[in-house]
Amino acid sequence: MTESTTEGPNSAHESQDAQMVLEATRKSAHAECLFCGKQNPIGFKLAFRARDDGSVHAMFTCERPLQSYPETLHGGVVSALLDSAMTNCLFSKGIVGVTAELTVRFLRPVRLDRSVEVTAAVTRVRGPLYYLQAELTQGKTLTARAQAKFMRKDQAGFAEEHREGEAQHG
């Protein structure tokens, strides 16, 4: 992903605002998430940070219990990290979104016992869809990247299903 190297006079203030929005949105809509939720007792509690260019990033340590092949992080974890980054990028804009489509390209093995950085950015908005991209790097090596389409959660049928479930169980 490309980062903006030019900063406007309010860019630091804007990233601080985006960080506040990200944290408030995550707390209200995603507190128990396995990857970024602060209230999940077994969660990873990823600490996504908003950047001046509108992207987000977080660090993650690839621990042995997440292994697939020897010395390699499980591909499902890689995919979930990329998805989580894109979700938190939307949170930084006050948007609660759900993944409609996710395409992951695995470029290099992700090694265990090392940290990775995951980043994400919105690339465009078209109608009800938000298009995002994410990258996972280990050291200076790009190990995986993803593209995804997201929809606002309230437009994806979640509200109706929840009400139906309450009627059935209530």
Q: Per-residue pLDDT tens for 118-128?
A: 999 999 999 89
In a domain, 158, yes or no: yes
Query: What does the pLDDT look like over 7-52, one tens digit per residue?
Result: 444 567 778 999 999 999 899 888 988 899 889 999 899 999 999 9
Average confidence (pLDDT) over 57-78: 97
Assigned domain for 6 exists: no
User: CATH number for the domain including 160?
Assistant: 3.10.129.10
Q: What is the pLDDT of residues 70-97, one digit of tens each?
A: 999 999 999 999 999 999 999 999 999 9
Does residue 5 lie in a domain region?
no
pLDDT of residue 157: 78
Per-residue three-class SS string for the chain = CCCCCCCCCCHHHHHHHHHHHHHHHHHHHCCCCCCCCCCCCCCCCCCCEECCCCCEEEEEECCHHHECCCCEECHHHHHHHHHHHHHHHHHCCCCCEEEEEEEEEECCCCECCCEEEEEEEEEEEECCEEEEEEEEEECCEEEEEEEEEEEEHHHCCHHHHHHHHHHHHC
87 domain residue, yes or no: yes
**Counted domains in the chain:** 1
Residue 102 belongs to a domain: yes
**Residue 156 forms part of a structural domain:** yes
3 within a domain of the structure (yes/no)? no
User: Among residues of the chain, what percentage have pLDDT more than 70?
Assistant: 86
Residues of the domain holding 69 = 11-169
4 falls within a domain: no
